[in-house]
Chain A
Amino acid sequence: MIRQDFKEILRLVRPGSRVLDVGCGEGVLLDLLTHEKQVDGRGLEISAAGVAACMSRGLSVVQGDADQDLDHFPDRTFDYAILSQTLQATRNPRHVLDELLRIADRAVVSFPNFGHWRVRWSLLTRGRMPETEALPLPWWATPNIHLCTLADFLALTEDLAMRIDACAAFAGNGAARQIDPTKAIENWRAESCLFMLSRNPAPVGSSTSTEPPAPSGDLFDG
């Protein structure tokens, strides 16, 4: 079973492109991208066990973390930098986000939405930090030190003058739903969300820069 957000990333990434997966874990997504999209993939992973698993898959993955190691990549090394469910665990998310779009033309970022109604409900009714499917651990055990809402993230992308090329929401195990992130209702409905970002103005020579992406189907199939 392929994770729903991975499916969406597979849909968004151009075949044969250069991809960096930051926080790539055991390399499941990189492996999928390598085989299904023939990307030239690299990874960054904090755990030794994760890197070892990636190495046996034949992936070029370096042990390191987003906060410290992105700085060492030259400008525009990649077409895409992917940060999947990791932004909220970084020490300096603003810097990390900025770095992603320095080293890559596009950033694909997904994170749990702290504005989801279950989160708000838990705080409102129980006065306790939420433990949901997207945020399963108690507050004292979670690696998530910089949680944000969809609206918070949107504000940061504006602050950093980033363009939103695509945005999808996920809830439960359902398929990705293309959303307009500026609609307030989506900040209630999305359990987690995924953004594809680029710099303003859009990178040169990109086919999706002038028109919004197709709502469904592989962007680059036919």
Chain B
Amino acid sequence: MAELDFAGQVLSEGGTWRFPAHSPLLLDSGGKLENLEIAYRTWGALNEDGTNAILICHALTGDQHVAGTHPVSGKPGWWTRLVGPGKPIDPAKHFIICSNVVGGCMGSTGPASINPATGQPYGLSFPVITIADMVRGQAMLVEALGVETLLAVVGGSMGGMQVQQWAADYPDKLFSAVIVASASRHSAQNIAFHEVGRQAIMADPDWKGGAYAEGKSRPEKGLAVARMAAHITYLSEPALQRKFGRELQRDGLSWGFDADFQVESYLRHQGAAFVDRFDANSYLYITRAMDYFDLAAAHGGVLAQAFAGARHVRFCVLSFTSDWLYPTAENRHIVRALTAAGCRAAFVEIESDKGHDAFLLDEPVMDAALQGFLSSVERERGLAK
């Protein structure tokens, strides 16, 4: 039996789970992580049959606080649209699990954690991790929570990559899988934008080769710039134009380099708010994990092979018309592979001008599609009337 440590919390609220001693997380890179900790939260309770568990996988800058209130920002969880009482994922019906990925900075072991071998923060001595490593950690947590099969594993963006990895590596633990606005591999453009972000961090003198934990300052400027550049990729051109246009912050131009335009002020705010809750080295490691993600490559270059064991799993794939980060074509590529593998897949492209971030925003069609899909999955699983 795995040892559980709830950091003073009760089971239904989550906490931090420690990997059992002498049971390191083996990594794709060939390395391993000892004494791994995974921070997680749960809502609801596992039913007697163990059939109502849903794992939610977060995106690049997300965390385990999918619902409820975020402890750092004080803002609502990042997917309260879909998770909560009366929502498609409902603690009254489901045992909801969400954990911070390995390499993250919200309580799971990451580059800011103390390396047990040295007693110092890992910094860049933290091993490079992959999406498969994250999923391997989640699988151990899920098992430790007493869950044998997941009613659904759900995720958008990088979360959707984890869902695909689950389908490839643990198909027997899945009943259904929901992939939103994701891709089966990073394109050159995806990698390029991530590289801009990483270079911004590494160009910040406060980064200090990743060893900033001992010093007084953190590479906040670099991380903020990385966030600003990335944030543009999460929106669509029409959404930005509609929201800001060429509107100015004050009357008239400053004839200087202050934030004259509202869009500049907005991006600066996004950057500044981000550094309060995110670690620069985590950003390097997680963006790297996404860049390295290429599910087909691990299966002879044929994506359908990755899903060959998941024919019994019901899949739902959703994309958004204005998402140019993980466009419909990439999501359709996943669907075609699922089809070719003989999996049961539903796919719909949702009309939205909100860009990639649409999956986190007010999109009633997405809510309805997910509600419909999950209801039918519950019926099939014998959970609902």
Determine if A55 and B376 form an interchain contact, defined as CB atoms under 8 angstroms apart.
yes
Interface of chain A residues 51 through 105 with chain B (CB within 8 A): 51-52, 54-64, 69, 72-74, 77
Give Cα distance in the complex from A72 to B138, angstroms: 32
Chain A: minimal CB distance from B189 (Å): 24
Are A55 and B350 in contact, CB atoms less than 8 angstroms apart? no
Is A42 on the interface with B (CB-CB < 8 A)? yes
Chain B residues with CB under 8 Å of A55's CB are: 316, 346, 348, 369, 372-373, 376
Interface size bracket, B side: 20 to 34
In the complex, which residues of chain A have a beta carbon less than 8 angstroms from the beta carbon of B314? 60
Q: Is A161 positioned at the interface, with any CB of B under 8 Å from its CB? A: no
From B336, B346, B351, A60 is in contact (CB under 8 Å) with B346
Verify if B375 is at the interface (C-beta below 8 Å from A): yes
CA distance A48 to B379 in the complex (A): 23
Q: How distant is the Cα of A63 from the Cα of B351 in the complex, in angstroms?
A: 13
**How far does the alpha carbon of A158 sit from the alpha carbon of B85 in the complex, in Å?**
59
Interface residues of A in 138-163 (CB under 8 A from B): none
CB within 8 A of A52: which of B315, B336, B345, B372? B372
A58 near B375: Cβ-Cβ < 8 Å:
yes
Cβ-neighbour of B376 out of A51, A56, A64, A73 (below 8 A)? A56
Contact call B349/A63, Cβ cutoff below 8 A = yes
Number of interface residues of A (CB under 8 A): 20
- Whether, in the assembled complex, B2 has its beta carbon less than 8 Å from a beta carbon of chain A, the answer is no
The answer on a CB contact under 8 Å between B346 and A61 is yes
Instruction: Report chain B residues within 8 Å CB of A74.
Output: 340, 342
User: Is B379 a contact of A58 with CB atoms below 8 Å?
Assistant: yes
B383: min CB distance to chain A, Å? 13
B40 vs chain A, min Cβ distance (A): 29
State which residues 357-385 of B face A: CB under 8 Å. Answer: 365, 368-369, 371-373, 375-377, 379-380
- B321 CB to closest chain A CB (Å) equals 9
In angstroms, how far is the closest chain A Cβ from the Cβ of B190? Answer: 23
Residues of A within 8 A of B365 (CB): 48, 52
A contact residues around B350 at 8 Å (CB): 48
User: Looking at B315, B376, B380, which has the most chain A CB atoms within 10 Å of its CB?
Assistant: B376
A77–B351 CB distance below 8 A: no
Minimum distance in angstroms from A59 CB to a CB of chain B: 7
Task: Please name all residues of chain B whose beta carbon is closer than 8 Å to the beta carbon of A63 when the two chains form the complex.
Answer: 347-349
- Nearest A residue to B368 via CB reads A52
Give, as a whole number of angstroms, the nearest-CB distance from A99 to chain B: 13
Interface centre among A42, A55, A59, A74 (most CB of B within 10 A): A55
- What separation, in Å, do the CA atoms of A35 and B380 have in the docked complex? 13
Binding site for B on A (CB under 8 A): 42, 48, 51-52, 54-64, 69, 72-74, 77
